[in-house]
Structure 1
Amino acid sequence: METEDAAQPATPTIEIARNGNVILVIGPQQKRIRVCSMVLSNASRYFQAMFGPHFSEGQGLTFNPADPKEIEMPEDDADALELVCCIIHVRNDVVPNVLAPQKLLEFLATADKFECLIAMRFIGRIWLSQQLDGQHRPLKDYAAQIIAAYVLDHPSSFTKATWRFIKHWDGSLTDLQLPTAGFDISDNLYWHIIYAITAERTRFYTKFVDILAL
């Protein structure tokens, strides 16, 4: 009995795909999730390459669920990657109905890294719309929503988040530190977002002046 207990993994395995042939061991907490390599490969070019013959993760890979291959991913966000895998495997029974702004950014950053952002766009827009339909939030949440809307290519949400942001931000936009949650925000993207926020603020003030002039 002692030998059997010692052979057991430190953390239980989350069965996203019960017949999956791969167990991803993610993050410093070593979260274990069972997935199907073929399902992930169909949705993600990153996984398609990783499970291919040119990388160690794909070498010796079989489709035998009785002998799943363990793949260590210590630097990745365990919760975000688990959520990405749940959506790819159509595990809607465990996908949350709502997601906080910062968690949404972390989710999108992970989806972008694993090259499956398009597959996450529909649910991402739903989560973002729910956030924007809610009550007043801290300023940092509106900033996160602006980034998320831009990444999700959702103009109406971008406009709504920007309007809410500019009504509460009274500083210089050049001093603004946008939350990225690890998302690779290039200088061009950053300044494009700043320009868009500036345009929205100018339009807001123009409308306000027009109303006062009536």
Structure 2
Amino acid sequence: MSKAEVMLSIRTVDSTGDMVLVVPYDLETDVSDEPSEPPDAAPFSKTDPNDDPSKPETRYILVSSKILSTASPVFQVMLDGRFREGVQLSDAKTSPDKEPFRLSLPDDDFAAMLLLCQVLHFKVSDIAARPNSDLLLALASVCDKYQCTQTLKYCGALWVRNWLLYLDLLSQPPIEDICRLLIFSYVADLPYEFCEVAWRLLLHHKGPLAGEQTQAVQLIDHPLLYQDVGSYLDRKRFRFCEAFHRAITGPWTTWKWVSLSSGCYRARDVIGRYTEALRKSGIVPYEVDLRDHRLGFLLRAASGLPYLAVKDCTNRYNCDCSGDKKESLTMNLNVLSMNIPKQKGWFGCLDCLKRGEMSSKDRKCRLEHGDISSLSP
């Protein structure tokens, strides 16, 4: 441990660093992936015995001011000499006997700031492969504040993809985690990851994504979201709901059954079997907005519906049922269950969200996707 570490009791990110970040640490709100008292944390986590115990501890991070200034225009302006912090940093550099300059960041989160510094200093061995979602959300807030969200492009994409692999192992992933990952992907401007996370939200969220009954409460008026992401995705979700409604009710309402009112029972039989299949699968009863359903469940249920068509008539005379449709009543639902996943890019396009649907029309979306018109069978 260097002399500076002994004197200041700090967390070292750059052993030759010239600046110490002074950040509050509250154990109750800690979002780090570390134990509450790691082996080397004791020296720098202790506070003055006269301090108010109700106040957060103060922790320190030894970093390179040059690296922070290069990555963040906010730090660059703060430390380039035009402000008091820059002057004090310069004085500390020119005085070899002086301790490294301390920069107080009283409003920042310690774990998030430490993770950001580890990323900027390329301390990859100290970074978890899948930081918890609370920490990623706090990191997004710090990066947004210091205007360095571009630094999350590669490590952020890796973290979200690792999270997606984990979420896919769960039968019902926590909506809270999905929402935090969605906000993180939005702030980090990760189009592929945003789309994939939005798709998981669509599959696992019960009912509308916006409104009084939404489970995605973190998306409501979140300070890091410059668009109403919940309402935007909910409008697209409703397009899927309408398609399901048309596919479910088609055999009852739009198919022409010539023999339904005649003496032949075959039309009545197949409609009855179709209705029973929908009931057993859990698709019905339902509301048009599918408020009691998860789309992921409906897709699985629709794909598993059996083939149901009018049985061949054994009447030796010309029966009215000869004019009835011969296709399976479940055909549209089967096809829809395959077509909806193909609209993943349309549903979760980050460029369409941020720049409007004109982004897609001008072919400027980074994620290729089609139009919803290709949804219906």
Q: 1:147 to 1:178 in 2, by over 3 A?
A: farther
1:25 to 22, 30, 43: 22
Aligned to 1:14: 11
**Normalising by the residue count of structure 2, what TM-score does the alignment of the two structures yield?**
0.48
Q: 1:194 to 1:116 in 2, by over 3 A?
A: same
Q: Any gaps of 5 or more consecutive residues in structure 2?
A: 1-5, 25-55, 248-331, 336-377
Aligned to 1:54: 82
Quote how far apart the aligned CAs of 1:76 are: 0.9
Q: 1:158 to 1:120 in 2, by over 3 A?
A: closer
- Paired residues in the alignment total 202
In the alignment, the residues of structure 1 paired with residue 334 and residue 152 of structure 2 have an alpha-carbon distance, to the nearest angstrom, of 45
With 12-21 and 154-163 compared, the bigger mean Cα shift is at 154-163
1:212 maps to a residue whose letter is L
1:18 maps to a residue whose letter is S
Quote how far apart the aligned CAs of 1:145 are: 2.0
What SS does the corresponding residue of 2:158 show, helix, strand or coil?
helix
Q: 1:197 to 1:68 in 2, by over 3 A?
A: same
Aligned to 2:333: 212
Encode CA deviations 1:11-48: one digit per residue, 9 max, x unaligned. Answer: x2111111111111111321111111111101111110
Aligned to 1:122: 154
What SS does the corresponding residue of 2:84 show, helix, strand or coil?
coil
Instruction: Please tell me whether residue 173 in structure 1 is matched to residue 173 in structure 2.
Output: no
Aligned to 1:74: 106
Instruction: Please tell me whether residue 93 in structure 1 is matched to residue 128 in structure 2.
Output: no
Give the RMSD, CA atoms, in angstroms: 2.7
2:79 maps to a residue whose letter is F
What SS does the corresponding residue of 1:26 show, helix, strand or coil?
strand
In the alignment, the residues of structure 1 paired with residue 243 and residue 157 of structure 2 have an alpha-carbon distance, to the nearest angstrom, of 28
Q: Any gaps of 5 or more consecutive residues in structure 1?
A: 1-6
In the alignment, the residues of structure 2 paired with residue 124 and residue 178 of structure 1 have an alpha-carbon distance, to the nearest angstrom, of 23
Aligned to 2:64: 36
In the alignment, the residues of structure 2 paired with residue 43 and residue 8 of structure 1 have an alpha-carbon distance, to the nearest angstrom, of 28
Encode CA deviations 1:40-89: one digit per residue, 9 max, x unaligned. Answer: 10111111011122222111323367631112222210110011111111
Which has more radius of gyration?
2
In the alignment, the residues of structure 1 paired with residue 187 and residue 142 of structure 2 have an alpha-carbon distance, to the nearest angstrom, of 12
Kept in 2: contact 1:163–1:201 (CA 8 A) = no
Q: Structure 1 vs Structure 2: percent identity of aligned residues?
A: 25
Kept in 2: contact 1:30–1:74 (CA 8 A) = no
With 198-207 and 24-33 compared, the bigger mean Cα shift is at 198-207
In the alignment, the residues of structure 1 paired with residue 236 and residue 209 of structure 2 have an alpha-carbon distance, to the nearest angstrom, of 14
